[in-house]
A = this chain, B = another copy of it.
Amino acid sequence: MTPPTDDTPERRPGGRTARIRAQVLEAVRAELGEHGYEGLTMEAVAARAGVHRATVYRRWQDVGGLLADVLDAAGEDDWGPPDTGSLLGDLTALNEEIQGSLVVRPSIPQALMAASFRSPRAAEAQQRLWEDRYTRCEAVVERAVERGELPPRTDARRLLIAATAPLYHHLVLLRAAPDPRLAAQAATTAALAAAAGAFAHPSPDDQG
């Protein structure tokens, strides 16, 4: 077996370690898109990435480790929610992004959600990614509060889940045909409910 030569202790961005990681994760996404979780193997990923199999085993251990790192890498970008100037506009644009990512074929987010039911490591990484994304999206609610569209004591997370959950429910769990109106409808529902006080914290003691 070829001795390991690539585990530079410091993972400099742009260094050899980072480059190998990028190649391997790109190969995981490609294999996942083509064959789904069933067809994902360490061997196929190593071959596709052009990286020694021993390296892949040493750094990622197993398929669950590969999936977890793809999910963690997804959280390392500088994505931010759309900023359209209104709450309804932001939520609609956000939902359109989500819908786009779920209806494209192959959909890597769909494949990762399916895989997270198989691998505990992937499930934990998927949770970290949701947490990161919803935290970033809180900016949408903060801006709406600053504009006076929402009361200051608004539960951002609950509002965001109300706005986005119907899309995931429809496309991931119900496996229903995409409905082009759904992104705007779910955004409108959440915005109307917010205006009616659905996400207002009743008192400081309730903030948890």
CB-based contact B113/A173 at 8 Å: yes
CA distance A130 to B175 in the complex (A): 10
- Asked if A198 lies at the interface with its beta carbon under 8 angstroms from chain B, I say yes
Given the interface pairs A114-B117, A192-B198, the reply to whether A161 lies near B168 with Cβ below 8 Å is no
- Asked if A15 lies at the interface with its beta carbon under 8 angstroms from chain B, I say no
CA distance A161 to B167 in the complex (A): 10
Q: Which residues from 155 to 183 on chain A have a C-beta closer than 8 Å to any C-beta of chain B?
A: 158, 161-162, 164-166, 168-170, 172-176
- Asked if A193 lies at the interface with its beta carbon under 8 angstroms from chain B, I say yes
Residue in B158, B185, B190, B195 whose CB lies within 8 Å of A185? B158
Residue in B165, B170, B175, B188 whose CB lies within 8 Å of A166? B165
Interface residues on A, range: 20 to 34
B-side contacts of A114, CB under 8 Å: 117
Could you tell me the dominant secondary structure of chain A's interface residues? helix
Residue in B162, B175, B188 whose CB lies within 8 Å of A127? B175
CA distance A176 to B192 in the complex (A): 26
Number of copies: 2
Q: Which residues from 90 to 130 on chain A have a C-beta closer than 8 Å to any C-beta of chain B?
A: 113-114, 117, 123, 126-127, 130
CA distance A127 to B170 in the complex (A): 11
CB-based contact A192/B197 at 8 Å: yes
Chain B: minimal CB distance from A189 (Å): 4
CB-based contact B175/A162 at 8 Å: no
- Asked if A1 lies at the interface with its beta carbon under 8 angstroms from chain B, I say no
Known: A114-B117, A189-B199. 13 other contacts (CB 8 A): A113-B173, A117-B117, A123-B175, A127-B175, A158-B189, A161-B166, A161-B169, A161-B170, A162-B186, A165-B170, A168-B173, A189-B198, A190-B193
Q: Which residues of A contact B (CB under 8 A)?
A: 113-114, 117, 123, 126-127, 130, 158, 161-162, 164-166, 168-170, 172-176, 185-186, 188-190, 192-193, 195-199
